[in-house]
Amino acid sequence: MKWFKTILIFAIFTITYNHVSAQPADTLRVLVYNILNYPNSQGSQRNPYFRKIFRYVKPDVILLGEMISQVGIDSMLTRNLNIAGTTDWSAAPFIDGPDTDGALLYRTTKVQFLGQDTIGTELRNINVYRIKPLNGDSTTITTFLLMHLKASTGNSNVQQRGREASRARQYANNLPPNSKFVYCGDLNLYTSTEVAYNVLTSDGTNINGKAYDPLTAGTWTDNAAFASIHTQSTRTTQLSDGGATGGLDDRFDFILPSMAFLDTTSAKLLNNTYVALGNDGNHFNQAINQLPNLAVPDSIAEALYFASDHLPLYGDLIYYRPIQLRPSTPLNLTAHREENAIRLRWNRVNTDTLGNPILIQGYKIYSSNTGYGNWTLHQTINSPLDTTYLDTSIQQQINRYYHVKAFRNP
């Protein structure tokens, strides 16, 4: 019978952190664009301009307003995105509503499409799209509520925009607390005192659906003080596609992220990336292609002029991945002699070092003959429930030190 001179058991204690830090995990460039009744009779003529704009911005997610049909989505994919060796663009299926509709296009190498809904209003559907970064988890699911609210001035139009925005807010209010969502699209707002703007950005009776405006509130229309954030119109003369004229003097297009994007340990919209493409602040009541344009190359200014009467907005959404805390130390490690073996037992681990519940993968048992180094992995147990191990490798007249560590999936 083998016998054991000394059996020593040694447990390593993990460091307890008092906070959880985070590191950038995924960045998605999101582009929002009213593309002027695409593809109407001018669609094929405008494709080269859209193609040039998309290549310049390099988005990962594109949300389009005034899409007419599935044919239009297919055209955007085949003629403007999946070209010149690029093959990773896909789209949500087109849903034909009572007026023009929205579209979501996304890079399958960056984004996972999770599903879509529509919210009916008295004019157009609000398109709702759910995505997450390809390598993200449930905490990175983002809902886009793509809107095209009632146009024009006058109290009846203002009130209708408010009712349409309320439909979007009701939907967002029913999302889980701290959800990541974005109200976006052509909201046709003239001032931040409008009902619709306050519906989307105020606390309301349910704060879940509140968003914030990364840019400046005010009376935007025909106000040179806001020249740098105007998005319509790119033109001063009428083109054959029927788009609006008048030069840049309205802020009609918006990206309004939920409050969860202000939590820099979770996600954020980089403010310095929120751009009305081509707007250099020097084109108030002017066409976007009037030179010089200090924001974009001349060829892009020309493309913006002919592609649509709206400028596209884009911004970078950054998602942060919390740094995982280590599992807590297995407590009450004991060793008992059995015939020709040593039986180790310890308590099950189901929390991290802050006491938060976690699911571990199993345990690693290390051994050493000195206890001062030369620790070697003795055995891996790939079960969080298995908290015992029988060591049958003991030699005569040796000291054997053990420690056990829980481990989780990377």
Q: Which amino acid is at 42?
A: Q
* HSE (side-chain half, CA atoms, 13 Å) at 344: 32
pTM beyond 0.75 = yes
Predicted pLDDT at 269: 86
Predicted pLDDT at 287: 98
Beta strands at 376-381 and 362-368: parallel, antiparallel or unpaired? antiparallel
Residue 256, H or E segment = strand 253-257
Cβ atoms within 10 Å, residue 170: 14
| Reported confidence tier of residue 24, pLDDT bands at 50, 70, 90 | low
Average pLDDT rounded to a whole number, residues 213-235: 97
Assess contact for 81 and 89: CB atoms under 8 A. yes
Q: Which of 15-29, 185-199, 214-228, 334-348 shows the lowest mean pLDDT across its residues?
A: 15-29
Render 304-321 in DSSP notation, one character per residue: HHHH-SBPPEEEEEEEEE
E-assigned strands of 57-151? Answer: 61-67, 89-91, 101-107, 111-119, 126-133, 142-148
In our burial notation (b when 16+ CB lie closer than 10 A, e otherwise), range 92-110 reads bebeebeebbbbbbbbeeb
Residues near 266 by Cβ (< 8 Å), separated by ≥ 6? 22, 139, 178, 180, 260, 319, 320
Please state, in angstroms and rounded to a whole number, the distance separating the CA atoms of residues 285 and 325.
55
Please state, in angstroms and rounded to a whole number, the distance separating the CA atoms of residues 197 and 189.
7
Please state, in angstroms and rounded to a whole number, the distance separating the CA atoms of residues 378 and 52.
60
Q: For the sheet with 376-381, list strands across it.
A: 6-9, 399-407, 362-368, 376-381
Q: How far is CA 96 from the centre of its chain?
A: 26
Place of tokens 């059995």: 338
Predicted pLDDT at 162: 98
Render 6-33 in DSSP notation, one character per residue: EEEE--PPPPPPSS--EEEEEEEEEEEE
Residue 345, H or E segment = strand 341-345
Share of the chain above pLDDT 90, in %: 73
pLDDT over 60 (residue 6): no
* 47-98 confidence digits (pLDDT tens): 999 999 999 999 999 999 999 999 999 999 999 999 999 999 999 999 999 9
Predicted pLDDT at 397: 62
Predicted pLDDT at 17: 35
- Domains defined along the chain, listed by start: 6-19+325-407 (2.60.40.10), 22-322 (3.60.10.10)
Please state, in angstroms and rounded to a whole number, the distance separating the CA atoms of residues 153 and 250.
12
Predicted pLDDT at 93: 97
Predicted pLDDT at 167: 98
